[in-house]
Structure 1
Amino acid sequence: MSKNVELVFVPSFGVTHIIPTVELAKRLVERDECFSITFLIIPEPSGLIPQAYIDSVTNSSMNRICFTILQRADLPPPGSEPITFIALYIQNHLPHVKKAITNLVSKSNNNGSSVQLVVDMFSTTMIDVANELGIPSYVYFTSCAAALGLVLHLATLDAEIEGELLDYSSELNLPSYINPVPTLALPDIMLNKKGDGYKWYLYHGSRFRDTKGIIVNSVAELESHAIHVFNHIFSGIPPVYLVGPSLDLEGKTQPDSTTRSHYDRIMRWLDDQPKLSVIFLCFGSRGTLSARQVKEIAIGLERSGERFLWSLRSPPKTKFEKPYDYSNPEEVLPDGFLRRVEGRGLMCGWAPQVEILSHKAIGGFVSHCGWNSILESLWFDVPILTWPLDAEQKLNGFQLVKDLGLAVEVKDERDDLVVAEVIERGVRSIIREGGGEVRRKVKEMSKKCRDAVMEGGSSWSTLSCLIEDMSNIQ
């Protein structure tokens, strides 16, 4: 029997997790009026929260989505590995989460509604709260289905391989990937079985199995192989729902007074460029490069002769701070570079990525292969040149290039430094030579991604199944 459902989302901190989670929530409340959604927002370790984005959602017509900003909990001990730090920091918020959900459960008992919990892929310790309060829980995996398959398969790998994965083989047969995966393409933390980060990956994978369902920000047509694996190879896992892409496309970046002139400068420059003539280089909200690598990119871009827009940012001074814009980018660029490329190249710091990728002038995207960036690039029909930096990005790049043929490889898992000749060749292959088969496949996949979220599409239909599962509580 269908009744009102109060969904409580606990995303990991940071916009790369919060935004796709909120976009999923928007689609749920648009599709079924039985849903009301509360977000419990964990502040970043610095105390920051994405207030501008939260305000934009709150001030919109989404009156059944609300946000509760949790009190910042204690930080983990200094020196923790990134995955360990994230897991422990989120776990430290468990008392605040339990208090908030307990209050919602108490209210639901009075109005006859159902409370259910949706945790982030890194917030699985919160499943204990759901179990203690006797409410259903789901996990939202904000990366790709193939990476989910790796996390679910990790316990099997751990049992089969006694030593370190790095010492076992140069390649691994992972069920959710079509081709054998180079061991070095795994997240670095998985290569050290003695490390706490590896143990946390094992823990998260085991907790996914304790939920009522796993929701994935991906598309059936993009990852049909992984779907087959979930349905026919893996056992003992809950239903997996591919409901993506969940992207912030309507919100568009709203520059504040300090970034307005910067934003306008970028968009004016793009407006003056021919269609599909510009290569866009951007390495995510936290991605930075060494001074030596910056110089090689600059030389490669200059030699290519192609137009480019390059988001170049300086490494942060301390861990978990964000990169910052160079006050003078010439300090890391070759002498005279800006003068020589004036007119056909534009350097910037912060960049409004969605607006740039959607611009007619963009013909290719040198990307760190974060999953949100991949989905945005596919949505806007922009071929990627892969430049993974961290976490599961090497796996994402591998899948795009080797399994799907949707990208051109520039940096692979073995590269410490990508030399200018490789950069020059990659840029020319996409811009001057048109991208060939890769561009054709990207164009086809772009249409499939857009069709998937339309009525009757694969993600639309899968979301219907998820809604039915959530709303029909005995």
Structure 2
Amino acid sequence: MNKSELVFIPSPSLSHLIPTVETAKLLLLRDSRLSATILLPPPIFAIDTNAETYVKATSSNPTFSSRLKFIRLPHIQHSNKHFFEHYNVQIPNVRQEISNLLTKDQNPRLSAIVLDIFCAGLVSVAAEFGLPAYLFFTGGAICLGVYQHLVSLRFDHNEDVTRYLNAEVDLPVPCFSLAVPAKVLPAVTVDETFSPEIFLSHFKMFSEVNGVLINTFYDMEPYAVESLLSDDKTPEIYPVGPVLKVESKWFDEDVDVKKWLDDQPENSVVFLCFGSLGIFGEEQVREIAKGLENSGSHFLWSLKKSHDPKLERERSEYFEGFSERTKGFGRVMGWAPQAAVLAHPAVGGFVSHCGWNSTLESVWFGVPMTTFPLHAEQQLNAFYLVKELGMSEAITLDYQMDFTGEKPPESVGWEVIAGGIRRLMAEEGGSGVRRKVEEMGKKAREALVEGGSSYNALTRFIEDVMRSID
């Protein structure tokens, strides 16, 4: 029996690492002929202890330990500030690891390399060894389609896409049924601050791969999936999601929060969580706090600490009074086990930054969202959820968090925040978002079982990989 080994190279951030490794695990569970090696690039910033814990737990899991291994790539100093270079400098190390795997005189045989989209520059290594290369796209099909469209505008039609920054125009985009407001386009594609020329040039590499695995499922994005399938410039696509790590545990330090949730009525608590980069300035923090006080809802707020000690002291003083005023109906915590919180029956709403993993978790657990996007493709996701699917309420669709410190911070007022939460948590909301997200959650589960759309897409990917070594 031919056995096949796949090499995965993820981005080291938790939001990319987990879905990539979970996809590898899913493949191993589906087909005993497969094994996987994960080449781990070093973190771009500080070491993420949650990522370290996840890798250790996966490595020691007896279900996978014999067929799944991790190899850490060494840190290499480089002067280029663009984060793509963080991965491109690893080409010699990746080349060596691939060579080592190919020279082993044993079964399984190395059959393909699966790259995170940020690591697409490493596709040249696969070409050197005559190996098929695939991309794993951690976002949705809508995002992939928008990137493809902007690449075409820039390089096929020589259009200056930076003119869309903050423009009051709507664009026809093939993967959307509605015209897309320019204000929700990913900033990295239109804002000179982020070197969009480099970013879009990187995305031209889509045409060099054999296929793209996408963490989505057909019923979540049927229009976008069909658009990509019909585009002769797009390689083979495999919508294999939702790929999630839903087994999330409460930590000992969170026991009081867990007990508090246990005492709340079903669907009565709104949960606020804004991802690993969701650290607001003090003005916005206070607006959110006032919005919660005036929303009429019980709440659980995952609030990341400020990196500024002075601001953190001021925040602590403010929150003494806030905690006292809201102690009967609210809790504030630091990092939260998001999946465990969303799975709790007391949680009936989710104020989210609309990261794609969080969006899929919201769907999986049937918890409706109200949108508060911050960066990356999150504004695009928010627009899709609210306007195309009608599956979310909105606090804002186009809020942009500034990470450069060069722009005055935006602030969403407490009245807008309170209103968005009230609409979300209303018992009989006229928009029907709760019913819609619960229905989509059922479709997500159906996609993964035998005969489902994502099950079939994963089967197709396995067949294509195995065909390459026959």
Normalising by structure 2, report the TM-score. Answer: 0.91
Q: How far does the alpha carbon of each residue in 1:244-274 deviate from its partner, in whole angstroms, 9 at most, with x for none? A: 0110113x2474xxxx22x212211111111
* CA spacing shift, 1:20–1:327, aligned 2, 3 Å: farther
The match for 1:300 among 257, 280, 291 is 291
Aligned match of 1:244: 241
Deviations 1:222-244 (A, max 9, x none): 00001111122x22221110000
Q: Does the 8 Å contact 1:184/1:414 carry over to 2? A: no
Q: In structure 2, what is the Cα distance between the partners aligned to 1:33 and 1:99?
A: 27
CA contact (8 A) 2:88 2:122 kept: yes
Provide closer, same or farther for how the CA distance between residues 364 and 202 of structure 1 changes in structure 2, counting only shifts above 3 A: same
2:422 counterpart (418, 425, 428): 428
User: Superposition pairs for residues 194-205 of structure 1, below 5 Å?
Assistant: 197-205=195-203
1:120 is matched with 116
Q: Secondary structure at the match of 1:67?
A: strand
Pair 1:375-2:360 in alignment:
yes
Q: Distance in 1 between matches of 2:323 and 2:185?
A: 37
Cα separation, 2, equivalents of 1:405 and 1:162:
32
Aligned partner of 2:457 among 455, 459, 462: 462
| Cross-structure match for 1:220 | 218
Distance 1:328 1:134 in 2: 58
Q: Give per-residue Cα distances to partners, 1:350-405, cap 9 Å, x unaligned.
A: 11101000000001000001100000011000001100001111111111111111
Alpha-carbon shift at residue 93 of structure 1 (Å): 1.5
Matched, 1:314 2:305: yes
Distance 1:76 1:393, change over 3 A: farther
| Cα separation, 1, equivalents of 2:383 and 2:217 | 18
Greater displacement, 67-76 / 376-385:
67-76
Report the alpha carbon displacement of residue 434 of structure 1 after superposing the two structures with TM. 4.2
Query: C-alpha deviations, 1:148-182, integer Å up to 9, x for none?
Result: 01111222221253463327761111111221111
Which SS does the other structure have where 1:221 is aligned? helix
1:137 aligns with 2:128: no
Written as runs of structure 1 = structure 2, the 5 A alignment for 1:410-421 is: 410-413=395-398, 416-421=410-415
Matches within 5 A, 1:172-187: 172-187=171-186
Structure-2 change in CA distance of 1:402 and 1:466 (3 Å): same
Pairing of 1:14-25 with structure 2 (within 5 A): 14-25=13-24
Aligned residues: 451
* Structure 2 counterpart of 1:9: 8
Match of 2:85 in 1: 88
Preserved contact between residue 154 and residue 205 of structure 1 (Cα < 8 Å): no
Which residue pairs with 2:337 in the alignment? Answer: 352
Q: Once the 2 structures are TM-superposed, how far is the Cα of residue 21 of structure 1 from its aligned partner?
A: 0.5
Q: Give the Cα separation in 2 of the matches to 1:37 and 1:458.
A: 24
SS in structure 1 opposite 2:54?
A: helix
2:275 to 278, 284, 287: 284
User: What is the deviation of 1:130?
Assistant: 0.3
Which residue type is aligned with residue 365 of structure 1?
A: F
- Aligned residue in 2 for 1:320: none
The secondary structure found in structure 2 opposite 1:122 is helix
Q: 1 CA distance for matches of 2:108 and 2:217?
A: 35
In structure 1, the residue matched to 2:407 is: none
Question: Please, which runs of 5 or more residues in structure 1 have no aligned partner?
Answer: 318-322
Instruction: Supply the AA of the counterpart residue of 2:69.
Output: C
Structure 1 residue corresponding to 2:99, chosen from 98, 102, 113: 102
RMSD: 2.1
Query: What SS does the aligned partner of 2:456 have?
Result: helix
CA–CA distance in 2 between the matches of 1:300 and 1:254? 27
Q: List structure 1 segments (4+ residues) > 4 angstroms apart after TM superposition.
A: 325-329
TM-score of the superposed pair, with normalisation by structure 1: 0.90
